[in-house]
Structure 1
């Protein structure tokens, strides 16, 4: 598989088999991903992979927080803030495609809520990685983390694995920090649920398109 094939094959997958990934393969994948470039080689990312009983405990703890009415407290502004124009339109189209694939109408609030809650079930994936960086850092360092995240997702594809990057997994950091060894002073940017795709799952039939190249890229001679 070349890089272009991996980019084309990668999608946000939200239906997983329960089968865990072998520890030696996990180590190989994350070792390769660590080769991602960063500004001045600062490597500002920190990753914690939660699996097994710890993953079950974390899901239970986050659900308890939400049931108690605790408000989200992300360390960094969520990605859906301040969206206008084409950006807001693309967000709407993403939601319409997602709910539409699952046969959920706009007025079916209970079903929409249940689907949203799957974020904190990690979509059934056996592993979830939490990606953090120091809260003292800014957008330039976040670019480095994004480069790392894309590298990691492509390496997962190379090894026959699927993933879903989730900004929602940064919303309830307190319980994550109790279970995961996140460095003091770091804030969670996002989570990444991953494992083997459940190919037949309806939720994996969601396909998102991309804007025409002319809308996002200009070539000037």
Structure 2
């Protein structure tokens, strides 16, 4: 598979088979992902992969916080904060597409909330990774996290795996810190659920469009 094919194949998948990925394949993929570029070779990312019973325990702990009414406490500003104009329109269209495929009307608030909770079920994926960087770092360093994340997602595609990057997995960090040896002073930027796609699952029919090239890129001679 070449890069172009991987880019066309990759999309956010939210329905997974329970089958775990072999440990040797996991190690190979994450070993290759560390080759991602970063500013001044700082490599600010730290990744924790949670699987098996630890993953089940973590899901239960996060749900306990959610159901208790605990307020989300991400350290970094969520990506959907402060959006306006075309960016807000794209966010709305993303939501409408998602709900539409799942047969949920805009007024069905409870169903929308139940769908949102799937984020913290890791969409039933057998593996979830949490990516952190020093809390003292800022937007420029976060570019490096994006480079690492894209590298990781394309490697997953190359190896027949699917994934879904999730900013929501930074919302309840305390349970993650209790089970993971995250470096002192780090904060979670995002998470990514991954595994083998459950082909045919309705939730995987969600496909997001992209704006045309002329809206996004200028060529000046």
What is aligned with 1:15? 15
What are the superposed Cα offsets for residues 58-116 of structure 1, whole Å, 9 maximum, x if unpaired? 00000000111100000100000110000000000000000000000011111111100
Please give the alpha-carbon distance, in whole angstroms, between the structure 1 residues aligned to 2:181 and 2:162.
Answer: 24
What are the superposed Cα offsets for residues 106-145 of structure 1, whole Å, 9 maximum, x if unpaired? 1111111110000000000000000000011111110011
Q: CA deviation at 1:181?
A: 1.2
Relative to the length of structure 1, the TM-score reads 0.99
What is aligned with 2:41? 41
What is aligned with 1:65? 65
What is aligned with 1:145? 145
What is aligned with 2:32? 32
What is aligned with 2:192? 192
Please give the alpha-carbon distance, in whole angstroms, between the structure 2 residues aligned to 1:140 and 1:112.
Answer: 33
Q: How does 1:78-97 map to 2 (within 5 A)?
A: 78-97=78-97
Please give the alpha-carbon distance, in whole angstroms, between the structure 1 residues aligned to 2:192 and 2:186.
Answer: 17
What is aligned with 1:136? 136
Please give the alpha-carbon distance, in whole angstroms, between the structure 1 residues aligned to 2:68 and 2:204.
Answer: 31
Relative to the length of structure 2, the TM-score reads 0.99
Q: How does 1:114-193 map to 2 (within 5 A)?
A: 114-193=114-193
What is aligned with 1:111? 111
Please give the alpha-carbon distance, in whole angstroms, between the structure 1 residues aligned to 2:95 and 2:207.
Answer: 11
Gaps of 5+ in 2: none
Please give the alpha-carbon distance, in whole angstroms, between the structure 2 residues aligned to 1:131 and 1:12.
Answer: 17
Gaps of 5+ in 1: none
What are the superposed Cα offsets for residues 32-78 of structure 1, whole Å, 9 maximum, x if unpaired? 11100001111000000000000000000000001111000001000
What is aligned with 1:203? 203
User: Secondary structure, in 3 states, of the residue corresponding to 1:214?
Assistant: helix
User: Secondary structure, in 3 states, of the residue corresponding to 1:78?
Assistant: coil
Please give the alpha-carbon distance, in whole angstroms, between the structure 1 residues aligned to 2:106 and 2:81.
Answer: 21
Please give the alpha-carbon distance, in whole angstroms, between the structure 2 residues aligned to 1:133 and 1:34.
Answer: 14
Matched, 1:53 2:53: yes
